[in-house]
Amino acid sequence: MTITDIAKHVGMTNMTVSRALNKPDKVKPKTREKILAAARELGYVPNAFASHLRSRKNRLIGLVTASVDNPFYSEVIKAISRAAKEHDYTIMLIDTDGSPELEEVAIETLLSYQVAGIILSPVSDAAGYRPAYLDRLRATQLPVVMLDRTLNVPDFSRVVLDNHRAGRLLGELLVKEDIRQVLVLTGPRESRITQHRLAGLKEAYDAVGVPLTLEQRPGDYTLQPAYREMADYLRQDMLPEAVFGFNQLITLGAMRALHDAHIGRADVFVVGVDRLPYADIFDVSVPCAGHDTYRAGHEAFRLLFEQIKDPTAAGREVVISATLIH
């Protein structure tokens, strides 16, 4: 249904109908009520995008994430959504499901909607990852903030986790627990997040001169690959002193594999990055290096909003520190 359909229905001009819908104070009450009643009857819904094109003012922000089923991003999205509402913005969320092709489509879609800005968590933070859309974003000069995973470029503001500190904190805990052998379930080897967390872990042992036997099994920050790697390790009749999961889904995958192999939690010390969601309900306590994910989302929106208000503002970086939760 369009304004033209309503105008034909009530026998009035398009201009009169448009005024009744958009500037009701400029139309006689009787006329206005007749038009609004017809709009309800016909199921008319305003075209927000067309309205934006007319006004040249968009209240839409794009949010691109590689995995909405990751508990980390669930909290981040909640924070961004709430902050956007406070400033009268609406979020358009696109989940790329870890696909570079879908990420390319997501960026093109958001640019076609002429969004006010984009918060982006790319599918990869590998140093060599250079998506084709990067030049498009630079050319449009659209406000962009990268979150958690970042492209290895100097452009754009970013909100990142202190991944080195997260690895160091858990490494120090493992040293205190007198653990010398660790199975590390990580993201991709080329991921800079993986590399920084791994470096922090090793540094904790090097700092006190304690030897560490470490085996790394890379995955993709999701549950199933971590489950398969943990199960494969156990099938070789090996049992590590400790398992270190590099995010919540990896830790959960490892714990499921241990459970399926009938290995009790007292037999293997499990640690991970960030809290396990709702674990306390089941009396499960896993030591972790936790980040304030809600703050990460809030800061991402704040940086984006600053650039929307002032396109000349210099890019900035906000680092979310890690805290040991034991």
pLDDT tens series, the chain, 326 aa:
889 999 999 999 999 998 998 888 889 999 999 999 999 898 887 766 565 555 546 789 999 998 888 889 999 999 999 999 999 999 999 999 999 999 999 999 999 888 999 999 999 999 999 999 998 899 888 999 999 999 999 889 999 999 999 999 999 999 999 999 999 999 999 999 999 999 999 999 999 999 999 999 999 999 999 999 999 999 998 899 999 999 999 999 999 999 999 998 889 999 999 999 888 787 888 999 999 999 999 999 999 999 999 988 888 999 999 999 98
Whether residue 16 lies inside any domain: the answer is yes
d(CA 98, CA 77): 17
Contact 291, 297 (CB under 8 A): no
Same structural domain for residues 300 and 151?
yes
> Per DSSP, what are the bridge partners of residue 161?
320
Q: Residue 48: what pLDDT?
A: 60
> Quick one: 122 and 242 in the same domain?
no
* Residue 304 and residue 249 share a domain: no
- Residue 52 inside a domain? The answer is no
Return the closest-CA partner of residue 201 out of 162, 181, 174: 174
Report the relative pairing of strands 288-291 and 322-325 from DSSP bridges.
antiparallel
Are 278 and 226 in a shared domain?
yes
Surface-to-core class of residue 43, CB atoms within 10 Å of its CB (0-12 exposed, 13-18 middle, 19+ buried) = exposed
Domain that includes residue 14, residue range: 3-46
Q: Tell me whether residue 326 is in a domain.
A: no
Q: Are 30 and 126 within one domain?
A: no
Ranges of H-type helices in the chain: 3-10, 14-22, 29-42, 48-55, 71-86, 100-112, 133-140, 163-176, 192-208, 223-235, 248-260, 293-309
Q: How many helices (H) and strands (E) would you count in the chain?
A: 12, 12
Q: 88 and 235 share a domain? A: no
122 in any annotated domain: yes
CATH number assigned to the domain comprising residue 31: 1.10.260.40
What contacts 175, CB < 8 A, 6 or more positions away?
Answer: 204, 205, 208, 210
142 found inside a domain: yes
Residues 143 and 178 placed together within one structural domain of the fold: no
Same domain (yes/no): 130, 250: no
Q: Are residues 238 and 284 in the same domain?
A: yes
How far is residue 204's CA from residue 212's CA, in Å, rounded to a whole number? 10
State whether 193 and 206 are in the same domain.
Answer: yes
- Nearest CA among 84, 90, 75 for reference residue 121: 75
Phi/psi of residue 273, each to 5°? -90, 125
Q: Domain check: are 286 and 314 in the same one?
A: no
The answer to the question of residue 264 being in a domain is yes
Check whether residue 186 and residue 273 sit in a common domain: yes
Number of domains in the chain: 3
51, part of any domain:
no
